[in-house]
A and B are shown apart, each in its own frame.
Chain A
Amino acid sequence: MNKYLIYLNTKRCIGCHACEVHCKTNKRLPVGPILCEISHEPLKAVRGVPKTEYRFRSCYHCEDPYCVPVCPTGAMQKREDGIVFVDQERCIGCMACVGACPWAIPKHNPATNKVVKCDYCLDRVDAGLKPACVTRCTTHALKFVSLVEI
């Protein structure tokens, strides 16, 4: 069972894209890979006010991930708590996981020639902290939800 979820309160999100940078700086990623993405639909007038809502997408941490079985080295793994992550030691950068993921979520890291993806900041989570994007979101719009608690 997946234990965690990142939830975006669209009422608070202001599309500032800070979460994308927070994620990158936490993982010390160079220009290139972006592991979470803020996007929105074009504006539409709702009762006289042009409106839109933002979406946040990182990795879906699928119940039955496509990326894990195709990995030839066992680098891509799913933990007990549902987190799908890449063991950097084992990854050979073959990019099989990128092809297998329907949304091409894993990204190539030009600095290491390996793959990186959202891992819910598992080192932080294991230390009892919240993921980088959630902790530092400009407006506290992102929430890290523990599903078992609901």
Chain B
Amino acid sequence: MCTVRCPIRVETEGNEVTWIEGNSHLLGGALCAKGAAGTALLKDEERPLRPLIRKGGRGAGRWEEVSWYAALDYVADKLKKIIASHGPESIMLSCRGGPFVDLVKAFIHGLGSPNFTNHDSTCGRNVHHASLSLYGLGRKDFIYDIKNCKHLVLFGRNILASLRIAEANQVLDMLDAGGKLTYVDVRQTMTGIKANRFFQVRPGTDYALALGMIHEIIKEKGYDREFVDRHVADFDRLEEFVVPYSAEWAAKECGLRSERIKEFVAEVCAARPKVVFHPGWMLSRYRDSFYASRALHILNVLMGNIEVEGGQILPKGPGDCGIKGLRSFDAQIPKPTAKRADGVGWKYTHFDKGPGLFHLFYETMVTEDPYPVKGLICVRHDPFTCFPDPAAQKEALDKCDLLVSVDTHYSEFGWYADVILPESTYLERDSIIATQKGVKPRFIVRRKAVETEHDTKGLCEIIKQLADRMGIGHYFPYNTMEELWAWQLEPTGHRIEDFDAKGFVPLTDTPIMYDRDKLEGKFKTPSGKIEIISDTLSKAGLDSLKPYQSPEEPPKGQFRLVFGRSPIHAHGHTINNPLLHELMPENTLWINKRQAARLGVEEGDWMDVIGCGCTGVIKAHVTEFIHPEVVYMVHGFGRQVPLQTRAYHAGVGDQKLMRGLLQEMDPAGGGLCLCECFVSVRRSSKNPKRRVEL
């Protein structure tokens, strides 16, 4: 149901799902509300149930129902026309990410376009690039062994509400075993209420707090000297850099007491190396989020927590188990020669070429530099919900000749697209096999529990049929899922039947750890060390250690708009699910009690939230435990697809208030600065004073 893809086991009767639970081998049956509500998704007819081609203007919501044959012919025809006039590189594909992207990557590369992308510039890109600049390893190249750590430090990572079931259980197991949790945020959250220590900071000062911690740890010589001497390059530059950023300074900047920072530092230094500073999940927030994340990565290094139990562990793959990896669709395809349209790899040399940065394609659509981008395929990705300022996005998309949405539900983008190819839900579709690296790596696969009762298809079939039409079917040598799986598994010696017992194939019985005394060569930086000063950043004219700049205060009468997640909904795509909608039909605007009193706002009042040129009406939630400079809402609401009768205009979508932020990118990390948005709020005139109707 959501992009975390927690493993589930499903029971059926006939073609009816009767029971969904978390995989008993991995989750002991545990499952969140979203996963459980899949039965309601199946029954929900307010989603695309057969292929649709747009009849009226874009976004007008007039559709013609067509056969798959007609829809795929239409898409293939348009793609061919675009390729004929502009070359294959003028087609881009974005996918919501996750373990099963190999197939769609292969499709776009097979067409001859390098332009594969995803949503990550509004999510973890800063964290990823910060990790690369320090270790030469990406953010997914570390596993946080939370269960066994003694102290977990979370900067705004609301780990018990932005749920991944296994991880949430690890946190609770850690707390049950007496571990400590420190939580930093501008408001109190579900995670914060379980914490032993809560730092409520001024918005945008995470970097200051992290710098203050680094200063204090170095000053008190609390770091792992041996690890640092052995593995870290240019440590002296760090020591020198943090001199001005004392605990006292940080406390003042963040609105905390310095003794509390010092107490904290003493505690983590005593607990190291079993201390994890979570470097952030979704950290596309402030202008310095890249540097905030880099500082958090550095704090981990100071703890010397790499490849130790209760620290950060390098994930192992099939190779570490003496097994050959899966055959990859993408790997057999010659690399497209054109340069990327988003500039990643040639204009921006310090960014990871993998998925590049989606928002930069919008710029290219408008400027046509280095070449025009005319076709966009979004696979289960809704850029209008994920990126700020849908109005600006539409302006760019109007330069495109073809917009295709492959999705299980009506995304806001889909509603604006030319074609909707309805994908079967997660209970009705098979997926390719993927590798899940880890301390105990495994192969994973999704297998359908029931047959679809509508005219929807699984992604593997859609891609194959489109590929055949585009003359690249030979890259996808399968006609059935069995053939596909057999092709992927062939080098590994496993068979699809091996998944029957547990739902996955474990590649080892015992956890695999590298020898901590032989970490040399594991860091993929040019020097092979953990690099405080990154050459790649320097070459791009960027600081590795950036002097701190205090965040702007909101203009008078305004608030900084921050957003987050609830455990009930997965961004925008579950809002219309009947059972989840029943639990949480709309979002609310959290506002500080004193500010609310000043505005004459009480709990439950309607409020107007006004960005530049856009307004929303939303109910107030008044609380002491949010910083007075911010207002907060859960992301994903305010949907504008009229066929989603429950979600339609319920609550407000934060991204729609973020006018002008589409190209506000952190130049070092590539993440967007989504919390650099200020809004005015007032008690709405829509609150009735008395009844004047009959």
Contact = CB atoms under 8 A, between A and B. Distances in A.
Contact of A18 (B28, B33, B192): B33
B30 interface: yes
Interface stretch (A47-55, A61-69, A73-81, A83-91): A47-55
Given A50-B625, A139-B169, A26 B19 contact: yes
A43 B33 contact: no
A140 B173 CA distance: 10
Interface in B32-50: 32-33, 35-37, 39-40
Contacts of B624: 43, 45, 50
A117 interface: no
Contacts of A137: 30
A51 B196 CA distance: 10
B193 interface: yes
Contact of A17 (B28, B33, B39): B33
Interface in A11-37: 11-12, 14-18, 20-22, 24-26, 28, 30-31, 34
A50 B592 CA distance: 14
A138 B583 contact: no
Interface in B148-181: 160-161, 163, 165, 168-169, 172, 175-176
B31 interface: yes
B36 A22 contact: yes
Nearest to B160: A14
B176 A135 contact: no
Interface string A1-19: 0000000000110111110
A29 B280 CA distance: 38
B583 A135 contact: no
B21 interface: yes
A136 interface: yes
Given A12-B172, A138-B165, A49 B193 contact: yes
Contacts of A25: 19-20, 36-37, 39-40, 579
B623 interface: yes
A14 B567 contact: yes
Given A25-B39, A49-B195, A20 B30 contact: no
A28 B568 CA distance: 19
Given A21-B37, A22-B36, A136-B36, A15 B190 contact: yes
B29 interface: yes
A17 B196 contact: no
Interface in A87-108: none
A138 B580 CA distance: 15
A139 B29 contact: no
A50 B188 contact: yes
B582 interface: yes
B22 interface: yes
A137 B197 CA distance: 26
B172 A21 contact: no
A102 B624 CA distance: 34
B578 interface: yes
Contact of A51 (B29, B175, B193, B580): B193
A19 B495 CA distance: 36
B36 A21 contact: yes
A13 to B, nearest CB: 9
Contact of A43 (B28, B40, B193): B193
Interface in B193-245: 193-198
Given A137-B30, A138-B165, A12 B583 contact: no
A14 B31 CA distance: 13
Contacts of B168: 14, 138-139
A25 to B, nearest CB: 5
Q: Which of A14, A26, A28, A139 has the most CB of B within 10 A?
A: A14
Contacts of A17: 33, 567-568, 583
Chain B interface residue bracket vs A: 35 or more
A48 B175 CA distance: 18
A22 B31 CA distance: 9
Contacts, number: 106
Interface in B605-624: 623-624
Contact of B29 (A26, A31, A43, A135): A135
Contacts of A136: 21-22, 29-31, 36
A31 B165 CA distance: 25
Contacts of B165: 138
B322 to A, nearest CB: 34
Contacts of B195: 49
A26 B194 CA distance: 30
Nearest to B567: A16
A66 to B, nearest CB: 28
Given A43-B188, A48-B197, A138 B163 contact: yes
A140 B28 contact: yes
A12 B175 CA distance: 9
A18 B578 contact: no
Nearest to A16: B567
B169 A140 contact: yes
Given A11-B175, A20-B583, A138 B32 contact: yes
Nearest to B196: A49
A112 B675 CA distance: 48
Interface string B594-637: 00000000000000000000000000000111000000000000
Nearest to B175: A11
Interface string A98-141: 00000000000000000000000000000000000001111110
A63 to B, nearest CB: 31
A49 B32 contact: no
A14 B33 contact: no
A48 B256 CA distance: 11
A149 to B, nearest CB: 21
Nearest to A22: B36
A62 B328 CA distance: 60
A134 B550 CA distance: 48
B338 to A, nearest CB: 46
Contacts of A52: 193
A43 B40 CA distance: 32
B578 A138 contact: no
Given A11-B175, A49-B193, A139-B168, A16 B32 contact: yes
Contact of A140 (B21, B30, B36, B260): B30
B161 to A, nearest CB: 7
Counting chain A CB atoms within 10 Å of each CB, the highest count among B36, B160, B579 belongs to B36
A45 B188 CA distance: 10
Nearest to A18: B33
B198 A18 contact: no
Interface in B1-55: 19-22, 28-33, 35-37, 39-40
B37 A12 contact: no
B36 A18 contact: yes
Contacts of B197: 48-49
Contacts of A20: 33, 583
Interface string B551-586: 000000000000000011000000000111111000
Nearest to A32: B582
A34 B584 CA distance: 13
15 contacts: A12-B176, A14-B161, A14-B168, A16-B161, A16-B567, A17-B568, A20-B33, A24-B579, A31-B581, A50-B192, A52-B193, A136-B29, A138-B33, A138-B163, A139-B172
Which 4 pairs of residues, A with B, have the shortest CB-CB distance? A16-B567, A18-B33, A50-B188, A21-B36
Interface of A: 11-12, 14-18, 20-22, 24-26, 28, 30-31, 34, 43, 45, 48-52, 135-140
Given A14-B168, A14-B172, 4 more contacts: A12-B172, A31-B579, A139-B172, A140-B28
